[in-house]
Amino acid sequence: MRLTTLTVVFSSVLALIGCATPQSRAPKVDQLSTTLEAKKQREMVVEDFITTNKRLQSVASRVVMSGAELCGEKIAPHFGITTWSADNFQKEWKTAVQDKYGLTDQLHISSVASGSPADVAGLKEGDVIQSVNGLAIPAGKDAAKRQNEQLREIGKSGMPVDFTIERNGEIKSVFVTPVQACDFSVQLQPDDVKNAYADGKNIVIYKGMMDFFRSDEEVALVLSHELAHNSMKHIDAKKKNATIGGLIGLLVDVAAAAGGVNTNGDFTRMAMNAGAGAYSVEFEQEADYVGLYFMATAGYTIDDAPNFWRRMATSNSKSITMKSSHPTAPERFVALESAVQEINDKITNNQPLTPEMKNVPE
Ligand SMILES: [Zn+2]
């Protein structure tokens, strides 16, 4: 009897699935409109990326310039531009950026950080770089990276650098005088992931993380935390720790997880499996602590830092239940509050903004 009922139910479900097609007659969709819509959406994605990158680079420029002293010997000439070319894109994306931004295979300026030497000198987004101090500009897929290296070399003298650019069909010379800044490049990754990481040389912030920020102070906070991981050489130290345990193969993942704002369960698991958790909590606390000094030195208000981490913690229930390489939320909150107090007291008393160090030799 029961079997019969089940069979009846099962077959009626099948019958329902069988006729589950839309009942209304939707408008016909032609190929051309679909193609145009796809292109429009691609352009919107790129535009959003470019706007977000400008915001990130502007905050980053301010933090790395003012933090030069805290970065010690890890400094390099800073100009404050990022570049791109059509070679960075494939097929349909290429068409979208060519049409919308007039992008060619030459290097175009994609962002000029507000208040950076490039901004002060008058370089603008969209400028096409023709030469730098008379030297040819790299071309091809990794042109932007090679251009950075070129600028690093040229900038060493500290003298004004002659950017010959094309703007609206006119050729111009713009002289940019670089300043010393922390030598860590900041990159925006397009993925919709709420994470960030430092790898010892770079700081990578995901688009999903940028979308989560409600103010430039919050951008500066995470950026400064990552900058602290790099300036305090946490990755090198982690490598040493990991080598002892014979875990070299997992280093990249561990660095990504432990260096980041850890809200992703998979990343956490990788870090835990690698057993690199032992020193992580201390490193994370140091990145929080030293990071606040970077942030305050750049003139950002640090008072809301504990609240931001609280918001991060509560926006992902996993971080409350799962023990990660980052300090647990309540522990972190309390430590941050006292660091904020310490720094604000120094600001009030006009004391230098340098982190308190242990007096024991390393
Ligand atoms: Zn961290």
**Residue 45 CA, ligand 1 centroid: distance in Å:** 28
Residue ranges for the chain with pLDDT beneath 50: 1-10, 13, 243-279, 317-323, 362
pTM: 0.82
Q: Indicate which CATH number applies to the domain containing 182.
A: 2.30.42.10
Estimate the crossing angle of helix 265-273 against helix 251-258, to 10 degrees.
130
Per-residue pLDDT of 302-326, as tens digits, reads 999 988 887 877 665 444 444 455 5
Q: Quick check: 281 and 327 in contact, CB under 8 A?
A: yes
**Residue 58 CA, ligand 1 centroid: distance in Å:** 21
Distances (CA, A) of 38 to 32, 95, 98, 346: 10, 11, 15, 54
Same domain, 222 and 338: yes
Same domain, 232 and 134: no
Structural domain harbouring 228: 215-348
Same domain, 178 and 250: no
**Residue 221 CA, ligand 1 centroid: distance in Å:** 11
Lookup: tokens for 54: 């400008």
- 27 domain-assigned: no
Same domain, 129 and 256: no
* CA distance linking residue 322 with residue 320, whole number of Å: 6
- 231 domain-assigned: yes
Q: Residue 235 class from Cβ within 10 Å (0-12 exposed, 13-18 middle, 19+ buried)? A: buried
Per-residue pLDDT of 16-30, as tens digits, reads 555 678 889 888 889
Same domain, 261 and 146: no
- At residue 269, the pLDDT reads 43
**Residue 234 CA, ligand 1 centroid: distance in Å:** 10
- At residue 331, the pLDDT reads 76
Same domain, 277 and 344: yes
Number of domains composing the chain? 2
Same domain, 239 and 182: no
As residues whose CB is below 5 A from the ion ligand 1, the structure lists 284, 287
- At residue 258, the pLDDT reads 36
